[in-house]
Amino acid sequence: MSHAPSGAASFAGFIDLAAEKIGGKTLSASDEFFAEKENLLKAGRGIFIDDKYTDRGKWMDGWETRRKRTPGHDWCVIELGLPGVIHGVDIDTNHFLGNNPAFASIDAAMSAQGEWTEILPRSPLNPGAQNLFAISSRQPWTHVRLNIYPDGGVARFRVYGDVYKDWTASDPDETIDLAALANGGRAVACSDMFFSSMHNLLMPGRSANMGDGWETKRRRGMGYDWVIVKLGRPGIISQLEVDTNHFKGNFPDECSVDGCLAPDENIDILTWNEVEWNQVLPRTKLQAHHQHFFDRDIKNTGPFSHLKLNIFPDGGVSRLRVLGKVLAGA
């Protein structure tokens, strides 16, 4: 099994399965003398404040262990917010320059008491850098253990992948959010996400602020913005929710939704106009900072595997929900 860090590696198409915002948690650590393990999963890359100290030493925005004077290494166990297949990790040592670990490895398990499997062998880390590693295992996992050798500090830890859902236990007659991250939904392509990511559209709960949504730059020419969402399973749609929460002076004037049934197609690597789209919701006026629910306005209930949310001409949407039932046999 080969894993090599690459500054050119990109996991932009995947979500951070360990992120706090989707329920990721640090469960335990061998040591957190200088800085708490919880910092590993916080947003951003961490900050540095020159003259900030605690009674234990320099304040650091990350997880930092004491200098190890005995055999062994330090570790931190993390419960992923959602089970998933891991495609890559970022062990970010931002601001840790003379106190970063020399090496790291990662183990994974399918339950809190499960057997640990190595998914990243012991690999060198650079100080003050995003250390990116591709992961070749295609098994789903619920927990990971970050091992650092022998000790030191890591600012942030990201676990990029696809959500895994066990559909065998699902009730086929239940109405669910087919686009939800927890159900395997993914934003796979968009026209623009200058201000905030398309992946925020499918996050749980309502948005915390304007940055916790999908927002495009101001359009100065013709056209409109759009985002393509692959549903967790193809399904029949009964209701759409388009939420402009926190978008007050920058919400789209109108939106529409199109759908297609192409479960075996990788829409994310196709141009959107190569697919045969069917109108689901015609162009409809939107309001600022408002949850819009559409059911009677739906013109075609599917089945669909992908939806395309179009916004006219640009702006921000915080959440997209697609209520419906999984297509029998999908």
pLDDT in tens, 56-70: 989 889 999 999 999
Q: What would the mean pLDDT of 267-286 be, rounded to a whole number?
A: 83
Contacts of 162 (CB under 8 A, 6+ apart): 14, 15, 84, 85, 87, 184, 186
Q: What would the mean pLDDT of 240-262 be, rounded to a whole number?
A: 97
Looking at the whole model, is its pTM more than 0.95?
Answer: no
Q: Is the pLDDT of residue 160 over 80?
A: yes
Smallest CA-to-CA distance from 150 within 34, 27, 65, 29 is with: 65
Q: Are 311 and 268 in contact (CB under 8 A)?
A: no
Smallest CA-to-CA distance from 209 within 240, 253, 250, 163 is with: 250
Q: What would the mean pLDDT of 236-243 be, rounded to a whole number?
A: 98
Residue written as token pair 């075996």: 264
Q: What would the mean pLDDT of 189-216 be, rounded to a whole number?
A: 95
pLDDT attached to residue 283: 97
Q: What would the mean pLDDT of 1-16 be, rounded to a whole number?
A: 58
Instruction: Give the percent of the chain with pLDDT over 90.
Output: 82
Smallest CA-to-CA distance from 156 within 129, 181, 135, 123 is with: 129
Q: Is the pLDDT of residue 330 over 80?
A: no
Q: What is the pLDDT of residues 69-82, one digit of tens each?
A: 999 999 999 999 99
pLDDT attached to residue 113: 86
pLDDT attached to residue 268: 61
pLDDT attached to residue 7: 38
Q: Is the pLDDT of residue 270 over 60?
A: no
pLDDT attached to residue 329: 73
Q: What is the mean pLDDT of the chain?
A: 92
Amino acid, single-letter form, for residue 266? N
Instruction: Flag the least confident range among 61-65, 107-111, 167-171.
Output: 167-171
Concatenated DSSP letters of 266-320: -GGGS-GGGS--EEEEEEEE--TT-EEEESTT-S----EEEEEEEEES--EE-EE
Tell me which DSSP letter residue 35 carries: B
pLDDT attached to residue 238: 97
Pairing label, strands 15-16, 225-243: unpaired
